[in-house]
Structure 1
Amino acid sequence: MIEIKEKKILIDGEPVLLMCGEVHYYRLERSDWQARIDQLKLSGCNAIATYIPWLCHQPEKDIIDITGTTQPQLDIVGFLDLCQENDLYLFVRPGPFIMAEMKNEGIPHWVYTDYPDAIPVGWDSNEVTTKTLDYLNPGFLKAAREWYSIILPPIQERLYQNGGKVIAIQLDNEVGMLSWVSNTPDLTDLVLEDFTNWTKERYGSTVNSRYPNVFSEDRDRRNELLRSPAEEIAPFLLKDLGYYMRSRFARYISILRGYCEEEGIKDIPFVVNIHGTGGGRGFTFPIGISQLFESYTQDEGYLSGSDIYFGDFNMDMFQDLYLINGFMDAMHLPDQPLTSVEFNCGDGNFGSTFGGRMDPSAADLKMRMCIAQGNRLINYYLLTGGYNYRMDQTLNDGNDRIAFTGERHGFAAPISPEGELNFTFPRMAESIHRVMAVSDKLAGMNEEKDGAAFAFIPDYYMTEYRYPKSSKMKDIIENIEQNRGGSAWEVVARAMLLHGLRFGSVDIQHKEINREIKSLIVPSAKYMHSHIQEKLVSYMNKGGNVLLYGDLPQYDFEGNPCTILAEAAGVSYKTTYRDSGDYYLSLETSNFSKRYPEVRTHIAHTVDLKKHVTPLLRTYDTKEVCGFESRVGDGKLIGILTHYSCDLTFFKEIFEKLSITPALTHDYSYHGIFTTSVANENNERFIHLMNLDGLKKNFHLFQNGQPLFEENTVSLPSRTGLMLPVEIALEKAVISYSTAEIKHREQDRVTFALHGEEQVAVFQTEHEVLCEPSGVQVKKEGRRYTIIMNKYDCRGEDVTVTFA
């Protein structure tokens, strides 16, 4: 039995971590399947994931092959059985769309020919530039249903509850991504008819004042007015089209789930994949969250899965990953855990130019952060490379292959198309084995938090459709894009994490703000819904604190004046200054505990103040206020309406003003350390540490100002992560703490990996303790054993502690 409960994935009632590797059977010779599975098991994974390409299994309407009759590698039935024989859980991804660099994104060519009205029409009735289709087109749905009737029966027979190993199924892939990246909303006649009905139902008698002379026209004229919108309706269409598409995607996902259930696929998670990372950063990832959150929260039984395509894990982007995991969690139903269904691994040489080369630490550190934040499934994508075979059909497209990457595919993967392990494999495998050694504990643990949260406003990322000729859409979207991420992530979130603050996120658009959240960080544009402004004011009136960073809200999302938040804070917008080649915009501080150095900035929004508002930042030359502190009810609002440098001392004082203090801290002087902790209901904990720099760091850890680990030093090697156990119950002992990471566990023994000059582990046990190698120092005081692991005494070997 598989359940999603209390942010855990339960199999037969026990929480599990699923560490998957993506293996594309159809890109491998059948004779290589077992070898790749052996390599996957060598990596430490306990599950295997794969796309199932419709394009390959039904290349022509009357040609169907799921047993390898036309191409041996298409025997999906045999592949599923082989994985089961190897005792691996299975996560299947049968589309209809799969992307995976496949031609037509994995859709058979004949679908486009048979159902041309499913091909979207874009702005100004232009042709689309991607291979997307209207998901709810009746012809496409008919074809997709027939595909599911072909591929789902063998999957259903191999479900976990039917004695097989299939434990999750993905519905389509990256829904809405192609429309977003091409700025081509699906504006077919069918979609616009449906949009018209949706809009009329939503706005009732006011629809004609909202869209003058649009819905009263005949169908063709109406469609023309929507595909080429006038400026007077542009702000409304921007908002309504985004809302409508969210609901349309959710309907599509619900239909696919219905197809699955009709074929007997029930009682396993249905996974919705979220897209959006780009250029090695996470700034655009929340666009996918915004597009799809209605899809995976419409009912129980869904999981959302991230696409994590970052480069190295370093000081540039570590806060991006932390934030997007938090944003996903903010949108979830209470029971839904985090998962990552495309977790990029390998060396980054996607273009076969040796560019984008990643450090071997990349997959290790990114995975550790995801696990610390509660990810219960990680799918390493792509674990194994392979080959794109030529189709039997002549495509006249230059090579007739199934994909557009040429003959070899996945040459950046840890396992090459030829089956060779590249330089990233050992570190990746080591980290997987470390996690799996304590997976039974981690699978039931959640991150501990410090009472602060980062606000998430989904509509700030509803910017995927913009009419190119609309200046109103342009103004709204550009202001939102300038303020929703960028500096707020790279300054405020980074400062929080470097101070050791562990924080979550909250959807302040749709949900109430939990009273346990003492302070809220709100990246703000000059556009903000009135109900969000009202909610923030209510939160502060009841004693909550807000850090408003970016622009001062002056309008609602449709461009109507809305200054609820500003009025409550006692400020009003004055003007905006921008840096230029001849104007060196600079800031100075006021009313802080000390004078902070004057700093340059590129933008400052200034405000007029009422008497009860305290200035914090001013422009140097005009002395106008662009940062302030204001009492709002029993709470407080601090507004930083400018880009400020990531001065950790400055932000420490800001955080203290907001009553934000970290419980878990360290005494290393030069930062570059990520810290967090996870715990379960039995008060077992792991402290997660990551060194983001290329130098070794020694330091002490503190909990609420008190030394941890009896003041023993923690040693954190260059670009390394550690999970240090605290009060972890083993079968025959309890680890009170250890400054070394667990490498391996058995019923009567535990092995620690040495990574510094000296580590210490303390146990409580009734059993006799034996250590290998024999040079390890053991101190016994009653039931307490202290193991001192000095690398010279241990001859540099790992230390195994046995309970006799």
Structure 2
Amino acid sequence: MIELTAKQVVVDGTPRIVMAGEVHYFRVARDEWEQRLDLVVEAGLTAVASYIPWVFHELPDGSIDVEGRTRPERDVAAFIDLCAARGLMFIARPGPFVMAELKNEGIPFRVYREHPEVVPVGWDGVQAPSRTVDYLAPAFLAETRRWFEAVLPLIAQRLQPNGGNVVMLQLDNEVGMLAWVTNSPDLTDHLLDHLGRWVTAKYDGPGPYPVAPGGDGWAQAVRSPEEAWAGPLRRDLGEFMRDRFADYVLALREMAEDLGIRGVPFAINIHGTEGGSGTPFPIGISQLVRTYSGIPGMVSGSDHYMGEATLTTMSDLYVINAFMDAVHDADQPLTSLEFEAGSGDYGAGAEMQYDPSTADLKTRLCLAQGNRVVNYYLFAGGINPPLDEVVDDGNDRLSFTGERHGTAAPVGPEGQRGFAYEATARTVHAVKANESWLAVMDEEHDDVELGLVLDAYATEYHHPGSALMTDAVDDLSQHRGAGQRRALARSLLLAGYRFGAVHLEERSPRPGSVLVLGAGRYLAEVVQQRVVAHAEAGGRVLLLGPVPQLDLDGTPCHVLADALDLGHGDVVRDTGHYYPSVVAHGWAAPWPEMRVGWRQELRPNRGDVVLTDVYGTVCGVDVPLGDGRVVVLAAELPSSRDLFGRALAALGATPGVSTATPFPGVITTTTASADGQRALHVINISGATMPTTVTLDGAEMHDGQPLLVPPRSGYVLPLGLDVAGIRLIGGTGEVAGVEDGAIRFRPLLRVGDGPGHVDVTPGMAVQADDAYEVTPFADGTVRVTPHEAHADAELVLRLDTTSPHFDPAADEPELHIEASAHA
């Protein structure tokens, strides 16, 4: 039985971290399936995920083979059963769209030939440049049902609640992505009729549009909008498509349930990373939020490709997870359905090689934020088979990538161990060693929330000829989310703040909290009202960006500026001959003069000035509002733990866990469970050993001595973990395994000039070999410290209950400390 409860994935009553790897059976010869799965097991993964591509299983005559009649690799059930025989769970991804670099994104050629009406046109009636379709076109839904009827019964028989190993089924893939990346909305006649009814219901008539929705001229008004209604159309089209995608996913779910898929979660894969950047990712959340948010049995999964683990990448990833969680309900966990794995050399041209620690660092950050499913994509490469019909497209193979596929994967196309295999396996084994507590822990948050404005991400469609649409999209894209240059998120992380996010269109920030918001000139009236209400009730706000002036459709909206009694002037930008620079005042000082990309003149009528340009023009203010305060920083500021840390401190927020390091590069956070277990997560992104002094809950840890965190490494350190009958109170060692009642640790992190240590529960007799020193404390806690010669060896703690005189009802077991055989 699979349950989603309290943000956990519970399998047969046990909370789990599902570590999966994507293996495409259709790209691997049938007689090689077992070898690939053996490598999956060796790496420690507990699940396999795979697309099940319609285009591969449908033959040129329209018949569908999922039993292996025409080629052995088409036997879907056999592959799932092979996974089950190795104890591997299975995540099924049957489309209908699958992408995966397949021709037509996984849709058979026949569907386009026989049903040309499903192929959309976009702006100005130009045919879509991608192979997208109108998802709700009757012909496409009928063809999809025919595909589902062929494949889903095989999966239904193998669902985990039915005694099988299928634990999740993904509905479609990256819904809406093709229209976004091409800026070509799916404006078929069928969709426009639906839009017309939607507009009529919203406005009780035509609203801002020049013709009756659905009537003569309606299609022209939408496909080639004039400026008079371009603003409302951009807003309405984004909101309407959210509803339409929700209708589509509901139709797919109902088909699946009719065909026996019940008792396992349905997953939605969220796209949005682009060009190695995670900043546009919430576009996918914006598009798909209504397909899963708050809907029982549904879970969303991230799909991210951002390259090397750097400060930029990790800031993006942290925000992605926070924003995903902000729209979930109390039970929906974070998951990742496509978690970038491998070397990055996707083109087999030796053009990229990520550090092998990349997957480890990203995985650790996601698990610290509560991710319960990680699917490494692509875990094993393969060979793209020839198509069954000749299409004369240059290679006539299933994929446009050519013959070999997955050259960057931990397992290469021919089944060889790739560059990242060993590092990925080490990560997975580390997760397994810590699974029992990670699976039930949630990140602890400070009294700070990052504002999520989903409508600021409804920017996927804008007519290229519309100045208003283009201006809105440009402004929203520059300032939303983590702030321009990621200054908000990156600065908060480096300053030690642990933060979640709040979905501002739907709910208000926590009373009294500090709301951190990146916003531009366009900010919805409802969001401006919530910001004002939050401050008036005693909350605090940090706003980075120009003063909001417009609602999303371009109409004037000065709710926030009026509440602050804050006038504003023009935005001055840098040029080849002008270099705007700013200086700090008040609580923001001292802070060095800093060149910025732009600054806006502010004209405050009350409050304190905290930022000006070098000539004295105000561009940062701290303004009282009701019982609270609002800080507005109207300049393109760089990331700065000092400046933004001072801003948060001035607004009354204190980081619960913070670090002092000589250079940026260390991220820390804490997690805790309902039963009182707690852990400290330390991640060093830099390429140098980083001395890291940690302050937790206001007290310096390790007597104020710095942890020496190795380059490109991460650790889960105990703050109170129950492991094999032992209570780990603290220390600098990560659990590396639990076998036969013994706890094995990774080599302990060093502290200052000496070795690390492990602190163990009070009230226990201890025996140690000569490699370790045991220090008792007044409260009964025992500290175990290796001598220098053994400082870099693995440590084993073992409860000894083997004495013939040991009485479990009366005696405390002895704790034996020894050097590990793994050392």
TM-score range (shorter-chain normalised) is over 0.9
Is 1:447 the counterpart of 2:438? The answer is no
Residue 767 of structure 1 deviates from its aligned partner by 6.2
AA paired with 1:456?
L
How far apart in 1 are the matches of 2:775 and 2:614?
Answer: 62
Given that 2:410 and 2:417 are in contact with CA atoms closer than 8 Å, whether structure 1 keeps it comes out as: yes
Shift of 1:61: 4.8
Structure 2 length as normaliser, TM-score?
0.94
1:657 counterpart = 2:653: no
**TM-fit CA distance, 1:666:** 2.6
**Structure 1 652/711 Cα, relative in aligned 2: closer, same or farther at 3 Å?**
closer
Matched, 1:692 2:685: yes
For residue 576 of structure 2, what is the aligned residue in structure 1? 581
Per the alignment, residue 618 of structure 1 pairs with 612
For the residues of structure 1 that align with 2:310 and 2:588, how far apart are their CA atoms? 32
Q: Report the equivalent of 2:820.
A: none
Cα separation, 1, equivalents of 2:88 and 2:650 = 52
Deviates more, 1:312-321 or 1:452-461: 312-321
For residues 660 and 590 of structure 2, the distance between their equivalents in structure 1, rounded to whole angstroms, comes to 24
**Deviation sequence 1:712-756 (CA, Å, 0-9, x none):** 652210010000012101232111112011111125101011154
Between the aligned partners of 1:33 and 1:780, the Cα distance in structure 2 is 54
Cross-structure match for 1:785: 782
Equivalent positions of 1:275-424 (< 5 A) are: 275-297=271-293, 299-424=295-420
Q: CA contact under 8 A between 1:54 and 1:147: conserved in structure 2?
A: yes
Q: 1:15 to 1:104 in 2, by over 3 A?
A: same
2:452 is matched with 456
Corresponding residue for residue 12 of structure 2: 12
With the length of structure 1 as denominator, give the TM-score of the two structures: 0.96
How many residue pairs align between the two structures?
A: 795
Alignment correspondent of 2:803 = none
Residues 765, 434 of structure 1: CA spacing in aligned structure 2 closer, same or farther, 3 A cutoff? farther
> Partner letter of residue 123 of structure 1?
W
Work out whether 1:544 is the aligned partner of 2:539: yes
Give the AA of the match of 1:680: S
Structure 1 residue 493 displacement after superposition: 1.4
CA gap 1:770/1:358 in 2 versus in 1, 3 angstroms: farther
For 1:679, the equivalent position in structure 2 comes to: 672
> Partners of 1:372 and 1:10 in 2: how far apart?
18
User: Greater shift after overlay, 784-793 or 267-276?
Assistant: 784-793
Partners of 1:397 and 1:98 in 2: CA distance: 20
Amino acid at match of 1:211: Y
For the Cα contact (< 8 Å) 1:320–1:489, is it kept in 2? no
| Counterpart Cα distance in 2 of 1:434 and 1:778 | 27
User: Over residues 314-358 of structure 1, what are the superposed CA-to-partner deviations in whole Å (9 max), with x where a residue is unaligned?
Assistant: 123221111111011111122111000000010000122222320
Q: Is the 8 A contact 2:538 2:629 kept in 1?
A: yes
> Are positions 1:803 and 2:794 aligned together?
no
After superposition, the Cα gap between the structure-2 partners of 1:406 and 1:305, relative to the gap in structure 1 and judged at 3 Å, is same
Letter matched to residue 505 of structure 1: A
SS at match of 1:792: helix
One-letter amino acid of the structure 2 residue matched with residue 225 of structure 1: A
The one-letter code of the counterpart of 1:601 is: V
Quick check: 1:678–1:687 contact (8 Å CA) kept in 2? Answer: yes
Q: Which runs of 5+ in 1 are unaligned?
A: none
Post-superposition CA distance 1:221-267 (Å, at most 9, x none)? 32122111111110011001101111100100000000111011112
Aligned partner of 2:552 among 540, 550, 557: 557
Measured in 2, the distance between the counterparts of 1:146 and 1:765 equals: 64
Distance 1:155-1:355 versus aligned 2 partners, 3 A rule: same
Match of 1:603 in 2: 598
2:23 is matched with 23
Cα distance in 2 for residues equivalent to 1:650 and 1:711: 24
Specify the code of the residue in structure 1 equivalent to 2:739. Answer: E
Question: Residue 759 of structure 2 aligns to which amino acid in structure 1?
Answer: V
On the 8 A contact 2:67/2:74 being kept in 1, the answer is yes
Residue number among 232, 235, 254 corresponding to 1:236 in the alignment? 232
Counterpart of 1:538, as a letter, is A
Corresponding residue for 1:179? 179
Q: Which whole-Å CA distance do the structure 2 matches of 1:447 and 1:679 have between them? A: 7
2: CA distance, partners of 1:596 / 1:710: 30
RMSD (CA atoms) = 1.7
CA shift in 2, pair 1:118/1:601, >3 Å = same
Partner secondary structure for residue 757 of structure 2: strand
- Structure 2 residue aligned with 1:120: 120
1:764 to 758, 761, 764: 761
Aligned: 1:210 with 2:205: no
Would you say the 8 A contact 1:21–1:47 is kept in 2?
Answer: yes
SS of 2:475 mapped into structure 1: helix
* Post-superposition offset of 1:667: 3.1
Q: Give how far 1:711 is off.
A: 4.9
State whether residues 28 and 387 of structure 1, in contact with CA within 8 Å, keep that contact through their aligned partners in structure 2: yes
**Structure 1: how far apart are the matches of 2:223 and 2:785?**
72
Q: What code does the residue aligned with 1:106 have?
A: G
Q: How far apart are 1:272 and its partner, in Å?
A: 0.2
Judge conservation of contact 1:770–1:802 (CA < 8 Å) in 2: no
Distance across 2 between alignment mates of 1:433 and 1:787 = 25
Amino acid at match of 1:727: G
Q: Distance in 2 between matches of 1:549 and 1:18?
A: 38
Instruction: Indicate the residue corresponding to 1:103 in structure 2.
Output: 103
Alignment identity in percent? Answer: 37
Deviations 1:34-58 (A, max 9, x none): 1111111111111110000101111
Q: Quick one: structure 1 residues 256 and 712, their matched pair in 2 at CA, closer, same or farther if it must change by over 3 Å?
A: same
SS of equivalent to 1:762 = strand
- Which residue is equivalent to 1:571? 566
- Cα deviations by residue, 1:362-416 (Å, 9 ceiling, x for unpaired): 0000000000000000000000000001122222222221111111100110100
Give 1:643's aligned residue: 636
Distance 2:590 2:783 in 1: 48
Which deviations, in whole Å up to 9, do the C-alpha atoms of 1:486-531 show, x marking residues without a partner? 754522211111111100000111122222x610111111111111
Residues in 1 aligned to 2:703 and 2:146: alpha-carbon distance in whole angstroms: 64
User: Contact (CA 8 Å) 2:199, 2:213: kept in 1 or not?
Assistant: no
**Contact kept in structure 1, 2:449 and 2:509, CA below 8 Å:** no
1:764 is displaced (CA, Å) by 2.0
SS at match of 1:311: coil
Distance 1:216 1:384, change over 3 A: closer
Q: Distance in 2 between matches of 1:653 and 1:797?
A: 41
